[in-house]
Amino acid sequence: MKPQDRARLTDTDAGLDPSDPASPSAALPHADLPNDGAVPMVDPVNDAVAGRASRRPHRLPPLNLFRVFDAAARNGSFTTAAEELCVTQSAVSQQIRQLEDLLDVRLFRRLPRRVELTREGNSLASAVRESMALLAHACDRIADPKAPAVLCVNALPSIASRWLVPRLKRFMQLHPQIKVTLLASSDPVDFDRQDIDIAIRWGRGSWPGVRAEPLGRGRLFPVCSPTLLREGPPLTGPQDLTRYTLLQAVNSSLWATWFSAAGAPGLAFDESLFFNDAGLMLDAAVQGQGIALTSHLLVEQDLQSGRLVRPFETEIETEDGYHVLTSPEFSEKPVVAEFRRWIRLEGAQSL
């Protein structure tokens, strides 16, 4: 009989009963057989490798194990590594063993009075050494006060566009190593959840868990377009404002306070426009849509350029004002402290 014919013998040909549980084919479904009906051969070497691979972790081992491994690899001694890390020799040995178990390889050969890296250990040591160097370099770069730093400022849209943006270039010229990112938002500030360093908000300075410094008290006065003042009804006194459209913030009663200070309380108005953003309100004033009540910080550029004028000199001082907000934990960080000092000086000069 030819060898290939012997390979094709079935259980029946060999005198075996396929229904017998002891028959080799009884435990092997026919659907799993190769096309030629031959029984698959077992490869113990490949099966061992596959089993070993299946036990390897899908996730990175704890990073502290690599720190211990690096110290042991550099020193060639668990005892010296323990002294460097200020732990016991037993702790180093246990953590090395834990790393070996997780990777399912032997990383060191334990010799009398020293240890040597295995082939796998040498390969891992090079990668760990390079990774540790990259981490050290990144930490040094971040901590270096002379290195370029990024400062994230979150300001209300109105003061961001009308007051802060024209000044930012001057700050960056004074501090070229500081790169400023400006975000415009009126959302509540949470330094623990938001990646910001400084915020500018309007209020009374009573934000919990925040360091708040006044940028300037809110002295408010009316402004309008010179065209509106020239072409509209004459403005000889505060009572004449009833013939104009008042531009005011939503849920604000500051106009009533101003009229009382101007000696004309209790006036009624036919037309009012309400805004939830002071910048939009002042844009409407520039376009001649009415008269707005605002602070000097927001209209400094408009008054200087003549886009807006003051029809009356009466001002009111409110308890609210713009504040510079920082996290108490990081407010004295050099980059943050420098910006705080600069912006408060700018605010004092504007007012």
The candidate with the shortest Cα–Cα distance to 246, out of 236, 256, 237, is 256
Q: Give the Cβ contact number of residue 177 at 10 Å.
A: 12
Q: Give the Cβ contact number of residue 160 at 10 Å.
A: 19
Residue 72 has φ and ψ, to the nearest 5°, of -70, -40
Q: Which residues, in sequence order, are bridge partners of residue 199?
A: 154, 325
User: Given this model, what pLDDT does residue 113 score?
Assistant: 87
The candidate with the shortest Cα–Cα distance to 103, out of 145, 140, 58, 138, is 58
Query: To 5 degrees, how large is the angle CA 78–CA 79–CA 84?
Result: 95
Instruction: Tokens for 120, please give them.
Output: 């796998």
Report pTM. Answer: 0.64
Residue 135 has φ and ψ, to the nearest 5°, of -65, -45
Task: Count Cβ atoms within 10 A of the Cβ of residue 49 and give its class: 0-12 exposed, 13-18 middle, 19 or more buried.
Answer: exposed
> What is the spatial distance between Cα 313 and Cα 57, in angstroms, rounded to a whole number?
75
Name every residue whose Cβ is closer than 8 Å to that of residue 219 and which is 6 or more positions away in sequence. Answer: 295, 296, 315, 316, 317, 318, 351
> What is the spatial distance between Cα 308 and Cα 295, in angstroms, rounded to a whole number?
13
Q: Are 109 and 118 in contact (CB under 8 A)?
A: yes
| Parallel, antiparallel or unpaired: strands 114-117 and 178-184 | unpaired
User: Given this model, what pLDDT does residue 150 score?
Assistant: 87
User: What are the pLDDT digits (tens) for 150-205?
Assistant: 899 999 999 999 999 999 999 999 999 899 999 999 999 999 999 999 999 998 88
Name every residue whose Cβ is closer than 8 Å to that of residue 22 and which is 6 or more positions away in sequence. Answer: none
User: What are the pLDDT digits (tens) for 15-49?
Assistant: 344 444 444 444 444 434 444 444 444 454 444 44
334-350 vs 165-174: helix crossing angle, rounded to 10: 130
User: What are the pLDDT digits (tens) for 117-139?
Assistant: 999 999 999 999 999 999 988 88
Least confident of 51-65, 271-285, 307-321: 51-65
> What is the spatial distance between Cα 164 and Cα 347, in angstroms, rounded to a whole number?
10
Q: Which residues, in sequence order, are bridge partners of residue 153?
A: 182, 198
Query: To 5 degrees, how large is the angle CA 184–CA 189–CA 194?
Result: 85
